[in-house]
Structures are given as C-alpha cells and as structure tokens.
C-alpha cells in the first residue's frame, strides 16, 4: 500500500511517465495473455514473431533510457554505450553457451564448440563460474559497471567533457569490437556466441519461455524506468541537471562534479548491461557487431528523435525508430540508412526537443 | 649559489618561517577585535601595471561598505584578491583575526564564509527558483548523501525565508531562466545567502536594472547589513548615495578617501578624480 503511494507521488505531475507505465503494463501483460487466450485466427492475436520483436524493442528502450539518463539529464554524450550493452549481452551469452553441454556439434561437456574447433583443451579462467546463473547475472551488472567506473573515473577526473568525451567513448567501443573479433580472446571471434539451447532449464525455442522472457523484459524496463525517474527526481538529480547547465558554477558551489558524473555513468552502464543481457536470449546471438560504433550512434539517434531529458521520450524514440527500421529493411532495404540519416537531420534542425517536444508544443497550442 | 642563500635566510633569526607556524585547518572566524576584513599593503601588478598599489582597507562586522572608483581603479582586482582568484605580489589579507586569505584556495575561502556575487547572474536556468536556492544551501554535498537526502522542514523554512527576503516568494516554482534580469540578480544574492556567508562581496548589483529594481536592490542590501557584512562595488552614484553608510574611494590602486558620503563628496581630491567629472 505504501509502495503504491510512493510510486504515485513519484509520478505526480508527470503525464508522460504515467502514460508510459500504463502502456507498458498493457503491453507486458496484455500481449502474452492475448497470445495465449485468443484463437490464432483472431485479429488481436500476436504471433510469436511479434512477441519477439516487441521484446527486442523493449530491450532497446532500456538502452535508450540509460543513454537519456546521462545525456538528457547530465549532458554527457556517450557514443559508446552499446559497449556496455554488448558486454552485458556477452555475459548472458557465456551462461547460455555453458548450458548447451553435450548438445553441441562436438559434444564436449564443458568446452563450447568454438573452443573445441580452436583445439583448446580447457576453459579460459574468465569462463569459470559462468555456468551458474546467479554468477552470470552478477557479471551482467559488474562487468559493464566496472568498465564504466574505470573509464569514467579516468575521463571525468581529467575533466574530459563534451565532444572529446563522445570521441573517446566511440574509440572505446571500437577497440572492444576489434578485440572481440579476435579468436584468441575466447569469445567466439567473428561468429560470437550462438546456438543457445536453454535458460534455467527451459527450452529457448518454446513459446512459454519466450513469453517468460517477454514478461521479464517488460518488468525490467518498468523497474529501470522507475529507478531512473527516482534518481532524476531526487536532490542528486537536481545536482546533475545543474552540472549539465553550469558545471563550473556547480563546482564552485562545492559539489564534487566528477563524483556525481561517475556514479551516474556507472549506473547507466549497468542498466545498458541489463538491456544487453535481456536482448541476447531473445535474438539468440551475440557477436562483436554489437560493439559497432554505428550501433552506438543509432541508439543516440533514438533518444534524439524521442526527445532528450524526459525518459519516456527515449522509450518512444527507440520504439519509433526501430519500428521504422523493421519496416524499411523489409519493404525497402536500400533506403533504411538514408531514412535514418534524414531523420537525424530533420530532428536536429526542426525538432531539437524531439517528438516529445513536438507533442508538447501541439498541446500548448490547443489550449 | 641558491643553497648558501637559503641557509643564510634560515639562519636569520629575526623572522618566523611559515613552516614553523602551525597550519590552521578550517579556522573559525574570529572578529573579537571588531574587524572582519583586513587588507594591508596589498600590491598586485599585471605586466608592470600596478592594479593595486599598497591598498589598505579594514571592514567592520555588520557594515555595509560601498567601494567606488573610476574604471581601472582596482575595484574588481581587490575582490579577486579577497576571494583568492588573484594572488597579490605583497601585502597581507586576513578574514577576521585568524584566517589568512592568501593561504587558502578559492573553494576554501568560500567555505570559510566569503560569498561573492559576480556581475553577470549565473543562476541555473532550467531549475525553479526554489531548486536554485536548494542547490546553493550549505550542507553535505556528497553524491551518495544527495541521492537519499530529503529536505527537512527546517531547511524548507530557511529557503522560504530567503525567498521572502529577496522578494521572490511568488516566483517560487518559476523556472529561473524565465526571471527578469533584476530578479535573477536577487536570486543570485539569495543563493549566496543560502551558503550562510559572514562577508558578502557584491559586484555592480544594479548594472542594467530598472529604477524600480534598483530601489528594491537597495532595500535588500540595507536589510542584509547587520546580520552579514556587505561590501558593494558600484558605479551608480545615486545608488551608492541611497545605501551607503561608509564609502571608500579607490584611485589608481589605493584608497583615496574614506568616510560618510557627505564628507567624501566634499573632499577636493575626490571631486577632482571622480565625482567632479560630469556624470
């Protein structure tokens, strides 16, 4: 009862957040129910494919929120946030690989196929423990968090900010991509990790497992959203916005600006890691392509399209752009990159506050 | 050649070395001798130009002091020396009896209780007026603390008090960016007050203000005196006349005259260098 009142107080005066959480509840509970209860001939029956697609969009939305948290509220533009997403994904992928067991092509009970193929005779040390679900999930949080901590500490302590920070994050994700492409790294090289069989003993191909993953993703998105919302509404949140608008002034007031930025960055990195971990079992593969700088830029475009600094705008942008991508890459594949580029230019020139800003100004004009 | 000189210096027993003096960590402001700010023989030169020339100035606690002077008289440089932005070539600057300003860094001076309002208002435009004051409030500034901190009712009351003092109670929830220029200046003064400074340095508070706003600012500064010590640097003579008890006239980096407004205005040297000029 008190939890509900805390939540309702948090969402006060925030129509966008209430609409988003309502929609999320509708989608997260409604779609699986409709899938199970309605006959396949019904218009409202979502196919397994649709469920998978929406599940994937929700992981993208979580990534978009993590970017909006640092970019929209603290002015830190990370062009390498997919590095955290992909690392979370790899941690989950490693767990799923260890679950394959003897069902692999080579039938080795311990070693994943690609290691047998490379004629390795034992697991590298960093694969140890990844067969335990709780340990793998801990790594999903810890590995991106640790990278964000070390990288952010070095960058913010030296007062690297603005476009320079964006460039080095881009370099970070590019370097990781090159590293993960190498077979010696022990992450499957070019092919990455795939051919997963089951998660926690449930068959990944089964519809019930897919619905389970869908619901877990919806819950994670909702909790991630509420956590970010809570952070930006706290006094900590007001300080980070102050840092965005006047870093020097905030420092002069006695705030340790680099600490604020660092903890926000670490939290954002962990959130992106969770998004990646939920993404991998739903799409069935993780490869170094996820580290590609282009992906990171695309994720930033989602946030820009939706509208910075609102959180729900980021979700809207992620869903909107990815729906367009799904549509275009089927209907007119050559045009997709042009459409993305045009979208970015149009949003930058005409919609500096994204779709959310457009909706708000329409609402104001109606009054 | 350096070393013998150093040893010679060290052997000189007529002086006390800094290293011998105990380092004072966050000393308390001590105004028992009736003076809150001591500037003695301060000299600052930039590339041979003497911005301050053996400036000596004392300010009493609770005083409202106006500093006037033509452009280049050294008003802003003096403020910079007090806040630690500029280090003087020679001289001493003490805050109360015990705090040596020349030894402290800028943030440490701010912590010690000297607040400075710059000419250009630098409020946080996307925050409300209330939140601007909240951000400026003295207290624990660590990130983890702020994540869970809630405003106590006492803190809320303090913010509301300051809001009333600066006359922005009606704008409590307004975006600071939407305020007029004068209101931003008042908010800025309010933000300084939230840090509970003992000494307020105010740089040209009424530049660009309408006559009504100027009047309100005068009232505000007069009401602050007594509780705080206020040092105002201003060009606007009418404004100075309306608030000043004691006026210090700077000229070419040193004090030309000091006293109440009538005496200073009657001083022939002052008339010559500053007030005599057609306004």
DSSP A296-328: HHHHHHHHHHH-TTSSHHHHHHHHHHHHHHHHH
Among A312, A333, A314, A347, smallest CA distance to A81 is for: A314
Among A26, A82, A78, smallest CA distance to A54 is for: A26
CB contact (8 A) between residue B146 and residue A234: yes
CB B39 within 8 A of CB B91: yes
Among A97, A159, A121, A119, smallest CA distance to A287 is for: A97
Instruction: Please determine, for residue A50, whether its predicted confidence score (pLDDT) is greater than 80.
Output: yes
With cut-offs at 50, 70 and 90, classify the pLDDT of residue A161.
confident
Domains observed in chain B: 28-275 (3.40.50.300)
pLDDT, position B260: 87
Count how many pairs of residues, chain A against chain B, have C-beta atoms within 8 Å.
59
Q: Between these two residues, A93 and B26, which has the higher pLDDT value?
A: A93
pLDDT, position A65: 97
Among B23, B187, B21, B31, smallest CA distance to B113 is for: B31
With cut-offs at 50, 70 and 90, classify the pLDDT of residue A311.
very high
A292 Cβ partners below 8 Å, 6+ apart? A82, A173, A177
Q: Between these two residues, A244 and B235, which has the higher pLDDT value?
A: A244
Encode B144-190 in three state secondary structure.
HHHHHCCCCHHHHHHHHHHHHHCCCHHHCCCEHHHCCHHHHHHHHHH
Interatomic CA distance for residues A118 and A366, integer angstroms: 66
Among A343, A340, A292, A325, smallest CA distance to A57 is for: A325
CB contact (8 A) between residue A254 and residue B125: no
Q: Which structure tokens are listed for A361?
A: 């100004």
pLDDT, position A249: 82
Residue B156: count other Cβ atoms within 10 Å of its Cβ: 12
Is A241 touching B (CB cutoff 8 A)? Answer: yes
Find which of A245, A256, A263, A310 to mutate to test the B interface (most B CBs within 10 Å of its CB).
A245
pLDDT, position A2: 47
Distance, CA of A167 to chain centre: 20
Distance from CA of B141 to the nearest CA of A (A): 6
pLDDT, position A1: 40
Residue A25: count other Cβ atoms within 10 Å of its Cβ: 12
Interatomic CA distance for residues A87 and A180, integer angstroms: 10
Q: What torsion, rounded to 10 degrees, do the Cα atoms B134, B139, B140, B144 define?
A: -20
Write phi, then psi, for B45 (nearest 5 degrees). -125, 140
Task: Tell the residue number behind the tokens 């009657």, with chain if given.
Answer: B266
Task: Tell the residue number behind the tokens 């004009």, with chain if given.
Answer: A365
> How confident is the model over A193-230, as pLDDT tens digits?
999 999 998 999 999 999 999 999 999 999 999 999 99
Is B26 touching A (CB cutoff 8 A)? Answer: no
pLDDT, position A80: 92
Distance, CA of B219 to chain centre: 18
pLDDT, position A276: 97
Mean pLDDT of chain A: 91
Residue B58: beta bridge partners? B38
CB B220 within 8 A of CB B226: no
| Structural domain spans, chain A | 2-366
Which of A122-131, A274-283, B71-80, B234-243 tops mean pLDDT?
A: A274-283
pLDDT, position B225: 86
CB contact (8 A) between residue B135 and residue A239: yes
Helix (H) / strand (E) element for A347: namely helix A336-350
Give the Å distances, CA to CA, from A355 to A15, A306, A341, A366: 15, 5, 16, 17
Sign, CA torsion A29/A32/A35/A36: negative
Is A9 touching B (CB cutoff 8 A)? Answer: no
Low-confidence ranges of chain B (pLDDT < 50): 278-279
pLDDT, position B2: 59
Residue B57: beta bridge partners? B39
Overall average pLDDT of the A58-84 stretch: 96
Q: What torsion, rounded to 10 degrees, do the Cα atoms A51, A214, A306, A342 define?
A: -40
Task: Tell the residue number behind the tokens 């004072």, with chain if given.
Answer: B24
Interatomic CA distance for residues A338 and A6, integer angstroms: 45
pLDDT, position B103: 87
Nearest residue of chain B to residue A248 (CA atoms):
B122
Q: Which structure tokens are listed for B20?
A: 């011998």
Cα angle: B57, vertex B63, B68; to 5 degrees: 55
Mean pLDDT of chain B: 84
Interatomic CA distance for residues A168 and A171, integer angstroms: 5
Among B29, B123, B60, B78, smallest CA distance to B251 is for: B78
CB contact (8 A) between residue A238 and residue B125: no
Strands B229-233 and B246-251: unpaired
CB contact (8 A) between residue A256 and residue B107: no
Interatomic CA distance for residues A70 and B231, integer angstroms: 40
Residue numbers in B near A255 (CB within 8 A): 141
Is A255 touching B (CB cutoff 8 A)? Answer: yes
With cut-offs at 50, 70 and 90, classify the pLDDT of residue A23.
very high
Q: Which of B124, B127, B143 sits opposite A263 (nearest CB)?
A: B143
Q: Which of B122, B142, B144 sits opposite A249 (nearest CB)?
A: B122
Distance from CA of A163 to the nearest CA of B (A): 22
Task: Indicate the angle between helix axes A235-245 and A48-74, nearest 10 degrees.
Answer: 70
């Amino acid at each position: 009862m008190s939890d509900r009142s805390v939540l309702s107080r948090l969402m006060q005066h925030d129509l966008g957040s209430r609409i988003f959480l309502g929609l999320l509840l509708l989608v997260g509970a409604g779609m699986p129910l409709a899938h199970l209860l309605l006959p396949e001939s019904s218009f409202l029956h979502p196919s397994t494919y649709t469920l998978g697609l929406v599940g994937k969009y929700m992981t993208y939305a979580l990534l978009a929120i993590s970017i909006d948290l640092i970019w929209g509220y603290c002015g830190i533009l990370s062009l390498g946030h997919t590095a955290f997403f992909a690392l979370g994904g790899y941690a989950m992928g490693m767990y799923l690989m260890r679950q394959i067991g003897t069902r692999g092509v080579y039938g080795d009970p311990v070693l994943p196929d690609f290691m047998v193929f490379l004629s390795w005779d034992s697991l590298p040390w960093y694969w140890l423990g990844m067969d335990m679900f709780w340990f793998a999930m801990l790594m999903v949080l810890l590995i991106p968090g640790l990278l964000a901590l070390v990288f952010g500490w070095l960058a913010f302590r030296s007062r690297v900010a603005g476009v320079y920070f964006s460039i080095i994050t881009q370099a970070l994700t590019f370097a990781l991509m090159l590293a993960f492409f190498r077979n010696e790294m022990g992450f499957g090289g070019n092919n990455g990790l795939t051919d997963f069989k089951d998660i926690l003993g449930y068959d990944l191909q089964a519809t019930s497992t897919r619905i389970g993953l869908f619901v877990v993703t919806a819950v994670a998105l909702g909790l991630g959203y509420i956590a970010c919302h809570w952070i930006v509404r706290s006094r900590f949140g007001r300080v980070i916005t102050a840092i965005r608008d006047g870093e020097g002034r905030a420092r002069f007031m006695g705030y340790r600006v680099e600490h604020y930025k660092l903890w926000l960055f670490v939290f954002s990195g962990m959130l992106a890691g969770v998004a990646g971990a939920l993404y991998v079992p739903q799409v069935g593969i993780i490869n170094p392509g996820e580290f590609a700088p282009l992906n990171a830029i695309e994720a930033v475009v989602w946030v820009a399209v939706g509208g910075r600094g609102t959180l729900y705008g980021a979700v809207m942008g992620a869903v909107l752009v990815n729906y367009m991508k799904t549509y275009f890459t089927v209907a007119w594949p050559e045009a997709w990159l042009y459409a993305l580029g045009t979208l970015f230019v149009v949003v930058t020139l005409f919609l500096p506050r994204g779709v959310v800003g457009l909706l708000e100004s329409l609402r104001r004009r109606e009054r | 050649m350096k070393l013998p000189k150093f040893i010679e210096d060290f052997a000189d027993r007529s002086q006390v070395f800094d290293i011998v003096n105990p380092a004072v960590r966050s000393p308390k402001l001590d105004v028992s001798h009736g003076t809150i700010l001591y500037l003695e023989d301060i000299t600052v030169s930039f590339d041979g130009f003497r911005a301050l020339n053996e400036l000596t100035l004392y300010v009493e606690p609770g005083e409202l002091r106006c500093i006037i002077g033509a452009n280049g008289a050294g008003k802003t440089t003096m403020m910079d020396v007090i806040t630690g932005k500029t280090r003087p070539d020679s001289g001493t600057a003490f805050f109360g009896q015990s705090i040596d300003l020349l030894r402290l860094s800028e943030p440490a001076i701010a912590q010690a209780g000297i607040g400075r309002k710059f000419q250009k208002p630098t409020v946080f435009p996307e925050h409300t007026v209330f939140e601007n004051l909240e951000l400026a409030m003295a207290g624990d500034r660590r990130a983890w603390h702020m994540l869970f901190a809630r405003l106590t009712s006492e803190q809320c009351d303090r913010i509301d008090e300051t809001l009333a003092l600066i006359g922005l109670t009606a704008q409590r929830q307004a975006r600071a960016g939407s305020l007029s220029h004068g209101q931003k200046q008042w908010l800025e003064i309010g933000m300084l007050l939230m840090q509970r400074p003992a000494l307020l340095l105010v740089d040209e508070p009424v530049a660009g203000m309408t006559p009504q706003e100027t009047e309100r600012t005068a009232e505000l500064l007069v009401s602050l005196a007594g509780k705080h010590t206020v040092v105002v640097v201003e060009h606007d003579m009418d404004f100075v006349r309306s608030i000043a008890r004691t006026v210090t006239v700077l000229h070419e980096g040193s004090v030309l005259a000091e006293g109440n407004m009538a005496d200073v205005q009657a001083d022939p040297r002052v008339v010559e260098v500053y007030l005599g000029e057609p306004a």
